Amino acid sequence: MKIGIIGGGSIGLLFSCYLSKYHEVTVYCRTDSQVEQINRHGVNLKKKNEQQNFPIQASVSTALEPADLYIICVKQYHLNNVIPVLQQTDKNAILLFLQNGIGHLPELKKLAHECILLGVVEHGAMKEGNTTVRHTGQGLTRISEYKGIENNVHTVREILSMEEFPFVIEADYMKMLENKLLANAVINPLTAILNIKNGELLFNPFFNQLFQKFFQEVANVLQIVDQQSALQYLETICKNTAENESSMLRDIKLNNRIEIDGIITPLINKAEEKNIQIPLLYAAYETLRGRTGDR
């Protein structure tokens, strides 16, 4: 399959390496310097103590070569620059969006493509320079059909999935996104504000109280019916990633823009629509905005 990967960040480089084992992959980057470095040195994939080099082709994202599938691996707030370029591509090409949160959904209406898929990434990845990515957590990628011809999602899964990099299908894209959103909306802002690793939300009794109250608000907004299972699911994530820093805490430390508008803003909008009280979510939003401004 001919695959275009948009974004040479942590997820874009991770997907480029694994998928280039069986497919013709081009990674589309924002800068000429990253394109030049990847074309010259390939991409290094680090996992535990192993390292493998993949000779991947790179190009700038201002014009995309024809492909069967484009996987969009930029952050939600980068999409305003990427959508116009995607609009120029063949409408028969399949698009797969991998952003966290639900802030990207309104953007999809601007695309006339016949098949649009959404994905949730449960791997951990960290870019270590323009040509190196570390696979920090082995997981899987869930994909679901947002718009399209029946069975396209099955075909994509069959073609992409491999033992060491699995893809699974979810029937309901909104449920899939909301499950991940629940985790990101509770764990990310709390760990970012408190400056703690994910595990502290369980192990510190005071932070755990806050975690439970925060969970309650977010679960109410998302109208989660089985809240006990949902809370257990979040506790399992905190346990499994106890030693990790959430992506929001990492972004704050690196002075990067945070994904607040894809994760917290849509929940605030939903709560206001439904008249649900969310004092903790407002406090988190204002604290994070106050700390990071518009970046």
Ligand X SMILES: NC(=O)C1=CN([C@@H]2O[C@H](COP(=O)(O)OP(=O)(O)OC[C@H]3O[C@@H](n4cnc5c(N)ncnc54)[C@H](OP(=O)(O)O)[C@@H]3O)[C@@H](O)[C@H]2O)C=CC1
Ligand Y SMILES: CC(C)(CO)C(=O)C(=O)O
d(CA 107, CA 264): 17
- Cα angle value 149/152/14 (rounded, 5°): 135
Using CB under 6 A, list all residues that contact ligand Y: 183-184, 187-188, 198, 237, 241, 244, 246-247
Closest distance of CB 122 from ligand X, Å: 7
d(CA 266, CA 234): 20
Residue 137: CB atoms within 10 A of its CB come to 13
Closest distance of CB 151 from ligand X, Å: 26
Q: Which of ligand Y, ligand X, none does 244 bind, CB closer than 5 to 8 A by kind?
A: ligand Y
Closest distance of CB 282 from ligand X, Å: 22
* Segment 206 to 235, residues that bind ligand X, using CB under 6 A: none
| Phi, psi for residue 111 in degrees, rounded to 5 | -110, 135
Contact 174, 223 (CB under 8 A): no
For residue 142, give the 3-state DSSP assignment. Answer: strand
- Residue whose C-alpha is closest to residue 199's, from 154, 153, 249, 158: 249
User: Which residue is at the shortest CB distance from ligand X?
Assistant: 9
Bridge pairing between strands 167-169 and 141-147: parallel
Q: Which of 38, 64, 73, 176 binds ligand X (CB under 6 A)?
A: 73
Q: Which of ligand X, ligand Y, none does 103 bind, CB closer than 5 to 8 A by kind?
A: none
Q: Which of ligand X, ligand Y, none does 11 bind, CB closer than 5 to 8 A by kind?
A: ligand X
Q: Which stretch binds ligand X (CB under 6 A): 39-47, 70-78, 187-195, 238-246?
A: 70-78
* Segment 74 to 93, residues that bind ligand X, using CB under 6 A: 74-76, 78, 81-82
Nearer to ligand Y, 132 or 136 (CB): 136
Nearer to ligand X, 32 or 226 (CB): 32
Q: Which of ligand X, ligand Y, none does 82 bind, CB closer than 5 to 8 A by kind?
A: ligand X
173-194 helix and 279-292 helix, angle to the nearest 10 degrees: 60
Annotated active-site residue 48? The verdict is no
Contact 103, 75 (CB under 8 A): no
- Residue whose C-alpha is closest to residue 244's, from 289, 291, 187: 187
d(CA 141, CA 10): 15
Q: Return residues touching ligand X (CB under 6 A).
A: 6-12, 28-31, 61, 73-76, 78, 81-82, 98-100, 121, 124-125, 127, 247, 259
Q: Which sequence positions are flagged as catalytic?
A: 180
